[in-house]
Amino acid sequence: MKKIKPSVPRGTRDFGSNEMIKREYIFSIVKKIFSNYGFQNIETPSFENIDILKGNYGEEGDKLLYNILDSGDFLKNVKIDSRTSYKNIKSKISKKGLIYDLTVPLARYVSMNRDKISFPFKRYQIQKVWRADRPQKGRYREFYQCDIDYIGSNSILCEIEIIDIITEVFLKLNYDKFSIKLNNRKVLAGIVEQLNIKERFTDLCISIDKIDKIGISGLNKELLKQNFDKKNIDEIIKIFEFNGNNEEKINFIKKFVLNSKIGLEGIDELEKILNYRKNIIIDFSLARGLSYYTSSIFEVIPDDSNQGSLAGGGRYDNLTEIFGLKNTSGIGVSFGLERIFNLLEENELFPKDFKNSIKVMVTNLGKDLLNYSLNICKMLRENNIPTEMYLTTSKLKKQLQYANNKKIPFVIIIGEDEKKEKKVTVKNMISGNQELVEINKILNIINL
């Protein structure tokens, strides 16, 4: 038999039981908060038809889609010659792809179920997504997203609630060193309109979306490489380098886009949000690379780490339209579980008192004692006490060592004497104390 060196694919990770306890801790907090705001859970497939996904993430995003190879003889009807390339063959041998995010599948779901759901529709979704990205710290090829979205409402209350939810999530996770950045795609549209380069809007958004990685000087080089006019680059850089409070930034950009209707609309929307919530930072260099965003966009960044955004999202007015559902605005935010997990781990913010999911271990000290031990396990489980039975007959010392290694707080020892007296010995693995008790007293001891 061929020997294989075990490994996981790049950009993926295994999670042991201790790590899963911590991940479930994060899940439980976000689920509780989402539910408190009236969001309900849904689930969509882990892969979609490729034509559902392609074209919604921009040129850069589309490159990161994982295509699934058709099953069976996928080359049966494909003609291969000197002009064949991976691009023109891909559509013929792959009709499906792993999901890149949860927003496009949501738009497809809402469009297909429009007659079954009530608008505005509020859902949360926690699932894995996949991106063929270059793995690095805080960036993986397989990762969880925790999303909330409103579909079918233009109300500014959606933006306000999202800001509140973001704040509540991180404070409940005992992390307060974060900033919520806010911008509006309409302001960016106003900037390119004033510079007479409306046709370069998408190119500009893609370029400035890299600003966190490449900085202002890198952006300058990137825009030159994209053949932007030097005078326009200077104006763009001036806007992004402007320092001031939110009011000063609004006044500055308002003068710049004074003759742009769409730019002024974006500013008006930003000002309405600022009337209700002050715990945000206006950042005109925030673009969000996904092409479906149309107005409000936001991002959450850690103030004490360089691992990238912890959450991000925005409003999208036209996404469901491609699936036949018109005039249905949506807005949402996605929390990056992996980066949040890493951040809490680095800052030692997980609770120190995580309890072992197994509370009791029952010993296995001989064939003649097996039925008695099994009945004790049954009784404990019927009383909702997570219980493990040692699976093989071994010396007591070995079984106690096993319970100690797994940090199981109680061991019920059943030997010949215990069976005769119809009692058990309950050993507290933390204090070391043990007590011979009647069966009906077991729950009193381990529930103390």
pLDDT computed for residue 159 by the predictor: 97
The structural domains of the chain, ordered by start, are: 360-446 (3.40.50.800)
Examine the pLDDT at 303 and tell me if it is beyond 70.
yes
Is 30 within 8 Å of 169 (Cβ atoms)? Answer: yes
* Coil, strand or helix at 387: strand
Q: Where are the alpha helices (DSSP H) in 155-229?
A: 157-172, 185-194, 201-208, 211-225
Distance CA 333, CA 33 (A): 14
Share of the chain above pLDDT 70, in %: 98
* Coil, strand or helix at 364: coil
Examine the pLDDT at 339 and tell me if it is beyond 80.
yes
Q: What is the pLDDT of residues 380-413, one digit of tens each?
A: 999 999 999 999 999 999 999 999 999 999 999 9
> Cβ of 59: how many Cβ atoms within 10 Å?
12
Which residue in 222, 283, 275 sits closest to 253, CA to CA?
Answer: 283
Residue type, 445: I
Is 296 within 8 Å of 269 (Cβ atoms)? Answer: yes
Examine the pLDDT at 153 and tell me if it is beyond 70.
yes
pLDDT-based confidence at residue 162 (cuts at 50, 70, 90): very high
384, two tokens:
């909702």
237, two tokens:
């850089």
Backbone φ, ψ for residue 187 (5° rounding)? -65, -45
**DSSP symbols for 59-88:** HHHHTT--EEPPSS-TTTT----TT--HHH
Backbone φ, ψ for residue 328 (5° rounding)? -130, 95
pLDDT computed for residue 87 by the predictor: 67
Average pLDDT taken over every residue of the chain: 92
175, two tokens:
């992390």
Which residue in 121, 119, 125 sits closest to 46, CA to CA?
Answer: 125
**What is residue 121's DSSP assignment?**
E
The count of C-alpha atoms lying within 13 angstroms of the C-alpha of 231, restricted to the half-sphere facing its C-beta, is: 4
pLDDT-based confidence at residue 88 (cuts at 50, 70, 90): low
Examine the pLDDT at 75 and tell me if it is beyond 80.
no
Examine the pLDDT at 86 and tell me if it is beyond 70.
no
**What is residue 37's DSSP assignment?**
T
Which residue in 174, 106, 175 sits closest to 333, CA to CA?
Answer: 106
* Coil, strand or helix at 102: coil
Distance CA 292, CA 104 (A): 9
331, two tokens:
């807005």
